[in-house]
Amino acid sequence: MTEYSSILLENAVNELSRLPGIGKKTALRLSLHLLREDKSRTEALSRSLSLLREKIVFCKKCHNISDSDVCAICSNTRRDENLLCVVEDIRDVMAIERTSSFNGLYHVLGGVINPVEGISPSDLKITSLIDRMKIEDIKEVILALPATIEGDTTSYYIYRLIKSENLKITTIAKGVAIGDALEFADEVTLGRSIMNRTPFDNG
Amino acid sequence: MFLQQLKLTDFKNCPSTELDFSEKINCFIGNNGAGKTNLLDAIYYLSFCKSYFNNIDQQNIRHGCDFFSVHGHYRRNGDTDLVSCIQKRNHKKSFRFNKKEYDRLAEHIGKIPLVMISPYDRDLINEGSEVRRRFIDGMISQSDPIYLDELLKYNKALLQRNTLLRQFAESGRFDSSLIELWDEQLHKAGTILHEKRHSFLKTFIPIFGDYYNIVSGSSEEVDIVYESGLFDHPLINALKSGIDKDRQLRYTTSGIHKDDLQLMINGFPLKKFGSQGQQKSFVIAIKLAQFEYTRNIMGFKPILLFDDIFDKLDDQRVGQLINLVSQDSFGQVFITDTQKQRIGRLFDATTIDHRIFEVQSGMVKLTIE
């Protein structure tokens, strides 16, 4: 005896519920929604998903998701080619782009060093970063990796590989969020903000 | 601050009870297995969101019942706070402060400081070094969030380094540059933790020594010696020079996770050369020092739980202890004992405010006020 009246429905529910954040009930709701909608909506959805898998490429330079060999950011001549921001993940590129505060180029590592999860430096786009440092005219590298021990370790690993006299290597500041009252900041963050305080005229 | 009223339902062997306490000293008297310690454990629950004895919450539900609940009314500066812990069978534990559910239990810990002195404290002497490390880690973290953060970082880096050592041993290849990355992290966090442990013990040991003399009534020389490889070499050097050994054993052999506290009496290890009474006095003094340290940090007096107070102590020493905790520097105290006459004798002579409760198979009644 199956739970669903149709094996087709059951298949759709099973596939949908494999997605992160979607359980059986939500999957059923989505499936029934699609059945109620116009048939063309479902066709458009499945077409766009298939195309996503077939056509998507990763930028040869920065490994960001792209429609062409070189992504829109890397091929944009108005961006500052001397400035390179190293991030863990494609989502981090999107997050930094939303700030409109950065006009340089990116390099997406695809993860951070984590032996427990089985991720070693050779699984990350580090060799290609070293190659880029040789060919491109990069004057500053910003290490924008997560504020975890694994992120720090990865930053340190990259730092040791790329450090040289003419290269400035920086890391993003960590501290109290804008608009937050100090009393609501957690003790560790606030404690570190005080230890790593910055001169007022730079702020 | 003190616990004014405690209400239990189906907690361990206690079906239902409601008790009003003295602001000062409260005694639970009863035979073995009557449920005296369960009452202390209920009070412990309200401070630490868990049992002192059994980490599996569901097993604290009375046999054959569906849930337990513990409610405590705490009075501080004229205000009353209600703390509740409710555990239903096969449900998540629910913990409330003034009827508001906590998102994270960690938010509650520290609100109602409490020190428990129990016969299990001898684990500090007899068990492995991790028990002693956990003890000082707990004490320092209580007032220093940076310490806790560094400790979590250290443990993570240690796990990563050990995993790497294992992976290298299994695959037969080795890359020292990858190990060095974690060495650096362990060194940074480990050095901070080492310094903080060292300076904590510098404040703690004199307090402890004073209490030992009061509890034991003697002037034996006691000491807690902090043993750490970091006194001899910076951690980074020890990690580098120990790498061959680490590779063989597949784990990290140097670092603050190997630190220990050596408990000494008259210049010799307490574990081997201390009598049972000396060992008992030693751990009680450690716990009383913990009480004072916590009080100084929090700015008010923790609740003190004294399980099985006569265990391995003679009447005279217990008398001294009661006198000590009756003083103003101590707040509310809970004591358990098996013999009614003995407790009666102790309090007959004093004017200190106290209540005595008799416990019989989970039922409690007030006998002396």
Distance of CA A202 to the CA centre of its chain: 29
Copy the structure tokens of residue B69. Answer: 């609940």
Mean pLDDT of A126-154: 94
Asked if residue A80 has pLDDT above 90, the reply is yes
Establish if B184 touches chain A: CB-CB under 8 angstroms: yes
Domain A79-199, CATH number (from 3.40.50.2300, 3.10.450.50, 3.40.1360.10, 3.30.420.40): 3.40.1360.10
Nearest residue of A to residue B166, measured between CA atoms: A115
Mean pLDDT of A107-122: 94
Cα-trace Rg, chain A: 22
pLDDT of residue A202: 63
Using CB atoms within 10 Å of the CB of residue B218, give its burial: 0 to 12 exposed, 13 to 18 middle, 19+ buried. exposed
β-sheet with B268-269: strand ranges across: B222-227, B260-265, B268-269
* Nearest CB to A116; choose among B146, B160, B185: B160
Nearest residue of A to residue B146, measured between CA atoms: A188
Is B2-113+300-368 assigned to CATH 3.90.1170.30? no
- State the smallest CA–CA distance between residue A115 and chain B in angstroms: 6
Mean pLDDT of B104-113: 84
Question: CA-to-CA distance for B161 and B169, rounded, in angstroms?
Answer: 12
| CATH fold of the domain at B129-269 | Glutathione S-transferase Yfyf (Class Pi); Chain A, domain 2 (1.20.1050)
Establish if A192 touches chain B: CB-CB under 8 angstroms: yes
Asked if residue B319 has pLDDT above 90, the reply is no
Asked if residue B369 has pLDDT above 70, the reply is no
Establish if A149 touches chain B: CB-CB under 8 angstroms: yes
| Residues B73, B80 contacting (CB under 8 angstroms) | yes
pLDDT of residue B368: 67
| Per-domain boundaries in chain B | 2-113+300-368, 129-269
Establish if B149 touches chain A: CB-CB under 8 angstroms: yes
* Nearest CB to A120; choose among B145, B178, B182: B178
All residues of chain B having their beta carbon less than 8 Å from the beta carbon of residue A113 are 178, 181
- Mean pLDDT, chain B, rounded, equals 91
Residues 96-125 of A with CB under 8 A from B: 113-116, 120-121
The DSSP annotation for A32-65 comes to: HHHHHS-HHHHHHHHHHHHHHHHH-EE-TTT--E
pLDDT of residue A78: 94
Contact B185 A149 (CB under 8 A): yes
Question: CA-to-CA distance for B192 and B230, rounded, in angstroms?
Answer: 11
Phi, psi of B195 (to 5 degrees): -65, -40
- State the smallest CA–CA distance between residue A175 and chain B in angstroms: 14
CB pairs under 8 A between A and B: 44
pLDDT of residue B332: 96
Q: How far is CA B165 from CA A2, B127, B141, B247, B256, in A?
A: 49, 28, 30, 6, 18
Nearest residue of B to residue A148, measured between CA atoms: B153
- State the smallest CA–CA distance between residue B163 and chain A in angstroms: 6
Mean pLDDT of A115-134: 93
Contact A186 B160 (CB under 8 A): no
Mean pLDDT of A131-144: 94
All residues of chain B having their beta carbon less than 8 Å from the beta carbon of residue A152 are 185
pLDDT of residue A183: 81
pLDDT of residue A79: 95
Phi, psi of B269 (to 5 degrees): -60, 130
All residues of chain A having their beta carbon less than 8 Å from the beta carbon of residue B149 are 188
| Residue of B224, B168, B160 whose CA lies nearest to B189 | B160
Contact B181 A150 (CB under 8 A): no
Nearest residue of B to residue A161, measured between CA atoms: B177
All residues of chain A having their beta carbon less than 8 Å from the beta carbon of residue B184 are 153, 156
Task: Categorize the per-residue pLDDT at B299 as very low, low, confident or very high, splitting at 50, 70 and 90.
Answer: confident
Copy the structure tokens of residue B248. Answer: 């063989």
Mean pLDDT of A8-20: 94
* Nearest CB to B167; choose among A115, A121, A188: A115
* Nearest CB to A188; choose among B149, B163, B181: B149
pLDDT of residue B123: 92
3-state secondary structure chain B: CEEEEEEEEEECCEEEEEEECCCCEEEEECCCCCCHHHHHHHHHHHHHCCCCCCCCHHHHECCCCCEEEEEEEEEECCEEEEEEEEEECCCCCEEEECCEECCCHHHCCCCCCEEEECHHHHHHHHCCHHHHHHHHHHHHHHHCHHHHHHHHHHHHHHHHHHHHHHHHHHHCCCCHHHHHHHHHHHHHHHHHHHHHHHHHHHHHHHHHHHHHHHHHCCCCCEEEEEECHHHCCCHHHHHHHCHHHHHHHCCCCCCHHHCEEEEEECCEEHHHHCCHHHHHHHHHHHHHHHHHHHHHHHCCCCEEEECCCCCCCCHHHHHHHHHHHHCCCCCCEEEEECCHHHHHHHHHCCCCCEEEEEEECCEEEEEEC
Asked if residue B154 has pLDDT above 90, the reply is yes
Of the listed ranges A90-99, B170-179, B246-255, the least confidently predicted one is: B170-179
Beta strands B14-20 and B2-11 are: antiparallel
Question: CA-to-CA distance for B303 and A103, rounded, in angstroms?
Answer: 58
Q: Please write the tens of the pLDDT for every residue from B61-99.
A: 999 999 999 999 999 888 999 999 999 998 889 999 999
| Per-domain boundaries in chain A | 7-53, 79-199
Nearest residue of A to residue B159, measured between CA atoms: A116
Asked if residue B331 has pLDDT above 60, the reply is yes
All residues of chain B having their beta carbon less than 8 Å from the beta carbon of residue A186 are 145
The size of chain A, in residues, is 203
Asked if residue B26 has pLDDT above 80, the reply is yes
Phi, psi of B210 (to 5 degrees): -60, -45
Q: Please write the tens of the pLDDT for every residue from B185-240.
A: 999 999 999 999 999 999 999 999 999 998 888 878 999 999 999 999 999 999 99
Phi, psi of A81 (to 5 degrees): -80, -10
Domain A7-53, CATH number (from 1.10.8.420, 3.90.45.10, 3.40.50.300, 3.10.310.30): 1.10.8.420
Amino acid found at B290: Q
Question: CA-to-CA distance for A125 and A63, rounded, in angstroms?
Answer: 8
Task: Categorize the per-residue pLDDT at A203 as very low, low, confident or very high, splitting at 50, 70 and 90.
Answer: low
pLDDT of residue B323: 87
Amino acid found at B128: G
All residues of chain A having their beta carbon less than 8 Å from the beta carbon of residue B167 are 115
Question: CA-to-CA distance for B355 and B369, rounded, in angstroms?
Answer: 5
Contact A186 B145 (CB under 8 A): yes
Question: CA-to-CA distance for B361 and B344, rounded, in angstroms?
Answer: 21
Q: Which of B152, B160, B180, B236 best probes binding to A when mutated, by most A CB atoms within 10 angstroms?
A: B160
Copy the structure tokens of residue A152. Answer: 């720090």
- State the smallest CA–CA distance between residue B368 and chain A in angstroms: 46
* Nearest CB to A156; choose among B149, B167, B181: B181
Of the listed ranges A179-188, B4-13, B241-250, B254-263, the least confidently predicted one is: A179-188
| Residues B209, B248 contacting (CB under 8 angstroms) | no
Mean pLDDT of B335-344: 87
Of the listed ranges B172-186, B223-237, B346-360, the least confidently predicted one is: B346-360
- State the smallest CA–CA distance between residue A152 and chain B in angstroms: 8
Q: Which of B149, B174, B183 best probes binding to A when mutated, by most A CB atoms within 10 angstroms?
A: B149
ipTM: 0.74
Question: CA-to-CA distance for B184 and B151, rounded, in angstroms?
Answer: 15
